[in-house]
Amino acid sequence: SALLHGETPPPEAALRSTYRDFVALEREALRSPAVRDFWAGKIGDATATRLPRGEVSPPDLGELPVCRVDVPLAPEVSSALQRLAWSAGVPLKSVLLAAHMKVVGLLNGRRDVVT
C-alpha cells in the first residue's frame, strides 16, 4: 500500500529462522524414530506407482541413459503458477509436485499415487 502512494514501505522484520535451521530440522526429522513410525503408518502398505511404458526397448540394447528434457513455459504460465503458489501459501515446487502427481495419477487411472 505504501508503494502505491509513493511512500517508502516500513522495513521487513528479520526472519526468525534461516535456511540452515530448515536443513538442520530436516536432518533431525530423518533421524527421528517417531517420524519414521509416522510415515510407516501412513504409507507402509503403499505400492510405488509405476508409469505405463510406451514402446518397450529390445533387451539387447542394455540399459538406456537417463535424459533431461527442458520444457519451456510461456511467461504468463510461469506467472500464473507463481500466483497459484502464493495464493495457496506454498512454495512453487509444491505446486509443480502436485501437478506431477496429478499427471501420474491420470496416466495410471489412480487417485492415490506414490513415487
H helices of the chain, in order, are 19-31, 33-43, 75-88, 92-108
pLDDT averaged over the chain? 87
**Do residue 42 and residue 75 come from a single domain?**
no
10 inside domain: no
- Which tens digit of pLDDT belongs to each residue from 54-112? 666 666 666 777 788 898 999 999 999 999 999 999 999 999 999 999 999 999 898 88
Q: Please identify, among 46, 63, 84, the residue that sits at the C-terminal boundary of a domain.
A: 46
Per the domain annotation, does 91 fall within a domain?
yes
pLDDT (0 to 100) of residue 56: 61
Burial of 104 (0-12, 13-18, 19+ CB in 10 A): middle
Q: Which residue has the cell 497459484?
A: 84
Range of the domain at 28: 16-46
In a domain, 53, yes or no: no
